[in-house]
Chain A
Amino acid sequence: MTIFKKYVLILLAVSSSYLLNAQDTTPIEYAKYPLKLSLGNHVVGFPLENLFSSFNPHLSIGTERGINKNQKHHLFVAASLGFFRNKVIGNTLFLDLDLGYRFTHKRGLYVETSLGLGTLNQYHPRATYQQNTTDGSYKKRNNKGFFASSIALKLGIGYDFSKKSNLPVRIGIHHNAFIQTTYFDVDNFPIMPQSTTNISITYKFKKS
């Protein structure tokens, strides 16, 4: 608990030093690749459905690169690498590439949307067996996972502190709806709709 308090105090001190520097109006140049961390919950369902019907932690790290220089209407490409833990459909590692648009109000509030393509490796949530067809016996298999692709639509809203201060941080809430293009071997349910709802923090490094 004491350690936790210590970290909170350090965080507050760092944040306030940035906020106090808000008086300094010299524009700050940021490096091209900010660092984005997201933490949230993964569920099975269509967009905005079943958001918290089960608890499956989701974590990702990513970055983005601007396509245009317009800070109000910003087009960007983003990449993220992440993991979600889901005991029912299987723990999953994923890599997403997105093309996005962000509108940022001069006061710092922003909304964004993006379309993405992804690839994922989903691990069987339980032990798996494969049959030896010569004698019909079963042998436990290594869980190397199952490779699939995904298509995503992402929506987000948040606040960019750097618009009104020198704090080079953007925070947001994001809903990422995606469909996994292969799951079951059935015609009537060929895709697995899923979503994650996350809070994110994006840190923009200063240009050296």
Chain B
Amino acid sequence: MRFIFLLIITLFMASCAKDNITLENDVDCTSDFQDHPKASALQAVADQYANDGFVGMTLLIDHPTDGLWMGSGGYASIENDTKMNPCHIHHTASLYKIYIATVIMQLVAENKINLNDPLSNYLASDITDRIPNGSSVSIKNLLQQRSGIPDIFEVAFITDFFNNPTKQYTIEELLEYVYDKNPLSAVDTEFHYSDANFSLLTLVIESIEGNFIQALKTRIFEPLNLTDTYFLENPTQTPVGLADSYWDRYGDGNIENNSDIQVALTAGLSGSDGILTTANDLKKFMQALTNGELVSNLALMTDFLAVPQEVQDREVYSGYGMGLMKVNISGEDWYGHFGNQIGSGAIVLYNANKDITFVALQNTGTFFSDEIKSKFFYQLLSDLEAIIL
């Protein structure tokens, strides 16, 4: 009797183990995609990166003739000995900007927003009066990162972060980091990547829709049936299947689990972060965006303006549209976005010429490691291009 009881408990626990996650994905998470003509080469890349500084890595390539390939290497959790699975959920950091830009463009199509309207048409003067260039900046300037507003995540934020890394911020509290500062440039004269631009756009959505999280759900997550995509509102309510997060703090190959901090940041950086998703859901979102299901005027979003050379050298991307980056490493244009965080990194890119979607999600911090950042945002795409193009 005791044996049967123990057997039942063991079977129950095994069914709950994280590497056997059963999500709502409409793909087989356990498939090795061996029918794909480049399966072994692509899997070798995932394994190689998981053996070279990245704890775990999930890659997805959707090619018009080769078809879909998804694969993972490394670990979702070192402590629990859980291998990374293509259906694990990941933090996406600044990929948030594509979702916000999408909702803004939907509101433009519905004539609820005019891109050339000043920000002050939507937000109260107690905010716009304290934002650098706040009286002259337009919605379009914010989307294009040409507002001249400094970034939130500079040294002052970072030192505060190290005194209280799990603090939960409101958008207004984060905007305090740029209030009353001098603008970096006049409006619409220079590109300056700033999370403050999208924090303000989030407030614009709230001013029209009431609640921006609800707007994301009703306008994007639900219509596309993104059942494995979550907006993390509370750090204690993480979904089952979320990969743990790690960082190599000193760049010396010693990996630490920083999941608690990463989860707190995803939930607590309101207006800059918050979306958790899987590779497959990210693919579905990107393809819906690029085939016109979500916005009617994609041409406006993909009207890329060149970014300064020093940004190109440091951050890889060469142009910025409206919530979308343009990336060209070896002659091929891709667009999408990078997500750079302390315990994760995310990429979603689309190649319009060849109709290829590329997603990479991994759980080692890129924000505080130039080496990991460069490998992930530059070397990985370069290696994959050699296989898939």
Contacts and interface: CB of A to CB of B under 8 A. Distances in A.
Interface of A: 43-46, 49-50, 53-54, 88-89, 124-131, 133, 136, 138, 141, 146, 182-187, 189, 192-193
Nearest to A132: B51
Given A44-B162, A44-B163, A130 B368 contact: no
B67 interface: no
B369 A136 contact: no
Given A45-B159, A146-B250, A126 B75 contact: no
User: Which 4 residue pairs are nearest across A and B when measured between Cβ atoms?
Assistant: A185-B251, A44-B162, A128-B254, A184-B368
A29 B160 CA distance: 47
Nearest to B369: A185
B250 A133 contact: no
Contacts of A49: 159
A123 to B, nearest CB: 11
Contact of B254 (A89, A129, A182): A129
A193 B155 CA distance: 10
Contacts of B252: 146
A141 B256 CA distance: 10
A136 B51 contact: yes
Nearest to A138: B78
B245 to A, nearest CB: 12
Contacts of A88: 162-163, 165
A133 B51 contact: yes
25 contacts: A43-B163, A44-B159, A45-B160, A53-B160, A53-B164, A88-B162, A89-B162, A126-B256, A126-B258, A128-B254, A130-B255, A131-B51, A133-B51, A136-B47, A136-B50, A136-B51, A138-B75, A138-B255, A182-B250, A183-B250, A184-B251, A184-B369, A185-B250, A189-B155, A192-B162
B158 interface: yes
Interface residues of B, number: 32
Given A126-B256, A184-B369, 15 more contacts: A43-B163, A53-B160, A54-B164, A88-B162, A127-B256, A129-B255, A130-B255, A131-B51, A136-B50, A138-B78, A182-B250, A184-B249, A185-B251, A185-B368, A186-B370
Contacts of B256: 124-129
A146 B155 CA distance: 23
A141 B254 contact: yes
B163 A131 contact: no
B255 A128 contact: yes
Contacts of B110: none
Interface in B52-108: 55, 73-75, 78
Contact of B257 (A50, A126, A146): A126
Nearest to A87: B165
Contacts of B51: 131, 133, 136
Nearest to A147: B250
Contacts of B368: 184-186, 189
Interface string B231-270: 0000000000000000011111111111000000000000
Contacts of A45: 159-160, 163
A187 B254 contact: no
B163 A54 contact: yes
Contacts of A124: 249, 254, 256
B371 interface: yes
Nearest to A190: B370
B254 A53 contact: no
Nearest to B254: A128
Nearest to B255: A129
Interface in B279-312: none
Contact of B370 (A130, A182, A185): A185
B78 to A, nearest CB: 5
Contacts of A125: 256
A192 B162 CA distance: 10
Contacts of A50: 159-160, 163
Nearest to A128: B254
A79 B249 CA distance: 29
